[in-house]
Amino acid sequence: MVDPQVFRDVLAQWPSGVTVVTTLAADGSRIGMTASSFSSVSATPALVSICLDRKLYTHDQIAQAGCFGINVLAKDQIEVGRRFAGMVKDCPDRFAGEEWSTAETGVALLDSALGWLDCRVVHQYDGGDHTIFVGEVLAANAARRSAPLLYHARGWGQFADVLPEVATLADGGAVQALRERGEDPASIAAVVAALADAGIRVRVLDLTDAGSGPDAQDTQAALAAVPGDVDLATTTARVGDRLQAEQALGLGIGTVEVVADLGTDPDAALARALATIEGVEDRAAVTLLDPFDPARAESVIAAVVALADRGVREVCLPDTDGRATALEVRALLSEVTRLARPTSLRMALHDRDRLGLVKALTALKSGVTHFDTTLGGLDGAVASEDLVRLLETLDVTTPADPHTLSGLAQQLRGESTSGLLGPEPVADRPELAPGTSTPDTVGAAG
């Protein structure tokens, strides 16, 4: 015969989720207990099972009432799990302190559960000192999306943060920063080509400051100046309206980016962004401004869901001016990464107070695998080469080549006198004359 202690020890190694099973007493009052023996049984018809100790009060009540509710607990509901397992002393009412609804069968359903099932007992099998109740599911609701509460080795837990295997980088700032430094168009185009070769997607155009409409001269000039020797499919352009989106995509640019500021009127801002990319959602990225501001959390979550529903390729969440704390990054991302699927989430990293990489790690552990950085950290963003080094140490693969990036960044800092930016150190190059108006573009056509 198997040693009972060893048997229990082996079972303790089996991890499970945690539910609260509810039913009704003969007088109609509600009853509940914690149970991890919940299991799916059949899809058609929808059947589930629970396995309850015959000595338990709840066991007898379920047998009599002929119905039970299953409430799947979330990671932040250990106290509920403990209370319904009889682990809290002096607890006259296990149901107190939570919001409950009543199912069609009359059993209690926990409003804050990840999901619930309302079941009618259709089979009851003898299982040694336990009874296996099989319930037909009459109603179901996946009420809340969050991580589940787990039970393993006689302790409560939750999923550990797992680092992804692959992460990608995009550069949204180098072109603009180089332009502001007065680099000549050919050098900027060379940097773009080198970044693209190194596996980094580059924003080559920002049309949002250019005038709008088919006759807007700035837009025309910007579009005309996009370099011909770069594979445009790997580049992006920020656009301000529908026409600009069409023009950029018409040029062969892979992705258009639009910005939505959900600050004052979130619905209107989202509607504007969606109108701009209507019909080209699969080639569009929407940036939500200041998304980690806790006051915006609700509208950001709603926007991510709406954008994912519309099939938008990517949602970008920038750490605007580096204002977000790692905790705020964590709080939002742990909610939205699941909701966004299959849309990609991209976080634009700022390096204020040199905390950019900390937030990058936080985002990685929350399931974000796409990042916006800038070569050399030129515009206050996290330096692309720094993020690639971090990813290397974490064993996260990235298509970005670290050696190419470091070399490029060195040249940008003027530490190397040869290479893509030409023979002179960059720092010695003259600035563009103040007031010179050139569109935000890689002006390397000529």
- Comparing CB distances to ligand FMN, the nearer of 133 and 371 is 133
Binding segment for ligand FMN (CB under 6 A), chosen from 29-37, 95-103, 305-313, 337-345, is 29-37
CA distance 342 to 216: 36
- Sort strands 314-318 and 284-288 into parallel, antiparallel or unpaired: parallel
Q: What are phi and psi of 350, to 5 degrees?
A: -105, 150
- As measured in angstroms, the least distance from the Cβ of 79 to ligand FMN is 12
- Comparing CB distances to ligand FMN, the nearer of 55 and 395 is 55
Distance from the first to the final alpha carbon of the chain: 86
Neighbour-count burial of 419, counting CB atoms closer than 10 A to its CB (0-12 exposed, 13-18 middle, 19+ buried): middle
Tell me the β-bridge partners of 260.
288
- Comparing CB distances to ligand FMN, the nearer of 128 and 446 is 128
The residue from 41, 85, 305, 306 that contacts ligand FMN (CB under 6 A) is 85
Question: How many residues in total does the chain contain?
Answer: 446
Tell me the β-bridge partners of 235.
202
- As measured in angstroms, the least distance from the Cβ of 140 to ligand FMN is 20
Binding segment for ligand FMN (CB under 6 A), chosen from 22-30, 47-55, 106-114, 196-204, is 47-55
**Within 10 A of 38 (CB to CB), how many other CB atoms are there?**
20
Tell me the β-bridge partners of 42.
47
Q: What is the DSSP string of 223-267?
A: HHTS-TTS-GGGEEEE-SSHHHHHHHHHHT-SEEEEEE--SS-HH
* Paired tokens of 161: 């943060």
**Within 10 A of 50 (CB to CB), how many other CB atoms are there?**
25
**Residue 36 binds ligand FMN (CB under 6 A):** yes
- As measured in angstroms, the least distance from the Cβ of 158 to ligand FMN is 13
The residue from 15, 17, 86, 294 that contacts ligand FMN (CB under 6 A) is 86
The residue from 41, 51, 63, 150 that contacts ligand FMN (CB under 6 A) is 51
- Comparing CB distances to ligand FMN, the nearer of 51 and 251 is 51
The residue from 25, 46, 47, 53 that contacts ligand FMN (CB under 6 A) is 53
- As measured in angstroms, the least distance from the Cβ of 309 to ligand FMN is 36
The residue from 52, 190, 324, 400 that contacts ligand FMN (CB under 6 A) is 52
- Sort strands 155-157 and 150-152 into parallel, antiparallel or unpaired: antiparallel
The residue from 24, 30, 33, 258 that contacts ligand FMN (CB under 6 A) is 33
CA distance 84 to 75: 15
- As measured in angstroms, the least distance from the Cβ of 152 to ligand FMN is 9
Tell me the β-bridge partners of 30.
24
The residue from 22, 23, 34, 441 that contacts ligand FMN (CB under 6 A) is 34
- Comparing CB distances to ligand FMN, the nearer of 60 and 246 is 60
- As measured in angstroms, the least distance from the Cβ of 159 to ligand FMN is 16
Binding segment for ligand FMN (CB under 6 A), chosen from 30-38, 241-249, 332-340, 406-414, is 30-38
- Comparing CB distances to ligand FMN, the nearer of 51 and 361 is 51
**# of chain residues touching ligand FMN (CB under 6 A):** 16
- Comparing CB distances to ligand FMN, the nearer of 151 and 292 is 151
Binding segment for ligand FMN (CB under 6 A), chosen from 45-53, 249-257, 267-275, 281-289, is 45-53
**Residue 57 binds ligand FMN (CB under 6 A):** yes
Report yes or no: 414 and 184 within 8 Å, Cβ to Cβ: no
Give the 3-state DSSP-derived string for 258-275, with helices as H, strands as E and coil as C. Answer: EEECCCCCHHHHHHHHHH
Report yes or no: 314 and 349 within 8 Å, Cβ to Cβ: no
CA distance 137 to 45: 8
The residue from 25, 41, 56, 301 that contacts ligand FMN (CB under 6 A) is 56
Name the residue among 205, 202, 196, 282 with its Cα closest to residue 237.
205
108-167 positions binding ligand FMN, by CB under 6 A: 151
46: left (phi over 0), alpha (psi -120 to 50) or beta: beta
176-235 positions binding ligand FMN, by CB under 6 A: none
CA distance 119 to 49: 10
Contacts of 30 (CB under 8 A, 6+ apart): 22, 23, 24, 95, 100, 107, 108
Binding segment for ligand FMN (CB under 6 A), chosen from 63-71, 81-89, 235-243, 413-421, is 81-89
Binding segment for ligand FMN (CB under 6 A), chosen from 27-35, 260-268, 270-278, 299-307, is 27-35
- Comparing CB distances to ligand FMN, the nearer of 18 and 259 is 18
Which residues form the interface with ligand FMN (CB under 6 A)?
18, 33-37, 51-53, 56-58, 81, 85-86, 151
